[in-house]
Each structure stands twice: as structure tokens, then as C-alpha cells.
Amino acid sequence: MKVLVTGGAGFIGSHTCVELLNNNYDIVVVDNYSNSKPEVIDKIKKITGKDFKNYEIDICDKEKLDKIFAENKIDAVIHFAGYKAVGESVKKPLMYYRNNIDSTLTLLEVMNKYNCKNLVFSSSATVYGSPNSLPIKEDFPLSTTNPYGTTKLMIEGILKDLYISDKDFNITLLRYFNPIGAHESGLIGENPNDIPNNLMPYIVKVATGEYDHLNIFGNDYDTIDGTGVRDYIHVVDLAIGHIKALEHLNGLRIYNLGTGKGTSVLELVNTFSKVNNVPVKYEITDRRAGDIAACYADVKKAFNEIGFKATKTIEDMCRDAYNFVIQNKKY
């Protein structure tokens, strides 16, 4: 089976390429490297010892994408490509709507033309907005609080409409919770060049001395220790979730990909310090606008229907995230 991976050089895409190759799928990768680097492709090849075709294109470019489908018999697509920074999406909404929506529409039109009707799409737990109760189930009401989240919700809507119009499509929407960690080889991982918005990349930069301290956004939430609670999932577990989704493509399906377990900011910081034997200085500051107190997944549906269960621990996530940055000495 040949799988086209859009955004395959990115954080989640690269780990998924490794799992696909390890599971003997043929892959074709497309990426414009707007938020990744071409050397990631070589690292995927190094980890797996396997070769594959990759193309540097913007998938909004229909002619170029068409050529890739003409050159390769694509059976299924995993669509990661898109912009993902919440704060940036508030400042540059048009850029987010243009890239995330346009790339998806272009991809779907080309897939349709080549009769490729199998798709796994990267959605996000952000589509649940502020949930009324926890854990979050797939049938909870959907809403968003920023343009990035709205692009995910709009794309989910587009895919649902497409499926209604053409039942030959098999589409699985995966709603990721908070992916962190890195491949245990230390060759691929997450290390944003800009000031990170997300917690783990920030913790890593404090641990390496690049930043003086972490600001913890509030300690007066109704949670175990007052700090925000999230469902952190190891990126390798998340990647394996895509293999399960591919294996079970059938009609329109929606799954949460998380661990089902909530971890507070302080718990994550303390675990990171302990497993890596490194101090992480922090200060408590005001709550971040738009943050919710707690968010974690109900993971039963993914387990019952596609047999997915995350196995890696918070310790694994902390160790692998730090190991990646130390090995790459990007600080």
C-alpha cells in the first residue's frame, strides 16, 4: 500500500513516516518545509534504513500535486500539512485560513481526480472548545476559540460533507490531544526556532539554559495543584495511532488520540527535572487568555474500534524530548 504523507517532515509527520516504513508501507512525502527542515527526510531514512520519494512542494499548488499523483499510484493519504500555532493564527487569520483550507481542498480535488478515496486527517482536541465535563468523548459538542481551531473544525465539516456526497470515501478524523516527546534515537523531534507557545518545548529551553525560567500560567485552577491539566501523548504513540487508523479505514470515523490521563503543569515540570536530573526554574504568572483548566480524552472508542492504546509514560516523554535537543545541540 502506498501512502502519501503531507507535512511528512514535520513533528508528527516524521514520526508517522518512521512507523509507516517500519510497518512495510511504501510512502511518498510532500512538504514545503515552511515549518520543518529537509534534513528530517534523511533522518527518517537513517532510522528506518529504508528509502522513499519526497517532493518539496506547496500542496496548495494543484499542478504540482497532480503531477505527484500522476507519477505515483497513491492508495491513501495522511494529511498533516498545515499551520498550527494558535497565537499566530489570531494575528494572521487569513494566512491560516488560506493555507489550511486551501491545501485541504486542493488535496481532496486531486485525490478525487485520481480516485484515491482513503484519508486520515490531523484534527485536534481544540475542536472541543471548553468542554462541559471530562473525559472528553468524540460526540461532545464542538466549538473553537481561535482561527487555528476554526480551520480544523471547518475541515472536519468539509470532510463530513464530502463523505455524505460520496460514500466511496473512507475518512478518519484523528483528534490529537497534546503530543510531546521525540523518537528515542534522538534524530527527530520538536525544537521550534521561534519562542515556543507550548509547554514542553519551553521546559526544554529552560533546562538547556536558553531561557532563564518557565512562566506557569496560573496556579488557581480547580485542578490537583492549581495548574492546568492536559493529556500529553508521546509522539511515537500518536504515530502508531495513524497506523491503526489506516488499517481500519472504513466510512467516516472520528477518534480521540490521547492517553486518557491528565497531567498538571507542575507534575510535568517535576517529572522532567527528575528523569533528566536537571533543574527547571519557574515562576507563577497570570492565567493565559483562552486557556481551559483541564482537558483529557476518553480513549475507549479508539481502543474498542481500532485497537489503539498509548503505552509510553510521562517519564518517557520527558526523557525523549530532552534527549532530542541534547543530541542535536540546537541551543
Binding site for ligand UDP (CB under 6 A): 178, 197-199, 202, 214-217, 228, 230, 265, 288, 291
- Residue 13 interacts, among ligand UDP, ligand NAD, none and using kind-specific CB cut-offs from 5 to 8 Å, with ligand NAD
296 included as an active-site residue: no
> What character string, x for contact with ligand NAD (CB under 6 A) and - otherwise, covers 68-107?
------------xxx-x--------------x---x----
**Single residue of 5, 13, 111, 319 touching ligand NAD by CB under 6 A:** 13
Q: Which does 230 bind (CB under 5 to 8 A by kind): ligand UDP, ligand NAD, none?
A: ligand UDP
HEC-encoded secondary structure of 165-223: HCCCCEEEEEEECEEECCCCCCCCCCCCCCCCCCHHHHHHHHHCCCCCCEEEECCCCCC
Instruction: Compare residues 3 and 136 and give the one whose CB is closer to ligand UDP.
Output: 136
The listed partner (ligand UDP, ligand NAD, none) that binds 81, CB under 5 to 8 Å by sort, is ligand NAD
d(C-alpha 146, C-alpha 154), whole Å: 12
255 near ligand NAD, rule: CB under 6 A: no
Give the integer Cα–Cα distance in Å for 145 and 147: 7
Residues 6 or more apart whose Cβ sits within 8 Å of residue 266: 216, 219, 225, 227
- Which one, 197 or 219, has the nearer CB to ligand NAD? 197
**Which residue's entry shows cell 480535488?**
109
What type of residue is 175? R
Q: List 124's β-bridge partners, or say none.
A: 176
State the sign of the Cα–Cα–Cα–Cα dihedral 321, 153, 95, 106.
Answer: positive
Residue 215 binds which of ligand UDP, ligand NAD, none (CB < 5-8 A, kind-dependent): ligand UDP
Task: Choose, by CB under 6 A, the member of 44, 59, 120, 159 that binds ligand NAD.
Answer: 59
Q: Positive or negative CA dihedral for 230, 137, 102, 7?
A: positive
- Rounded least distance, CB 60 to ligand NAD, Å: 5
Answer yes or no: are the C-beta atoms of 280 and 206 closer than 8 Å: yes
Which residues contact ligand NAD (rule: CB under 6 A)? 7, 9-13, 30-36, 58-60, 80-82, 84, 99, 103, 122, 124, 176, 179
Residues carrying an active site annotation: 148
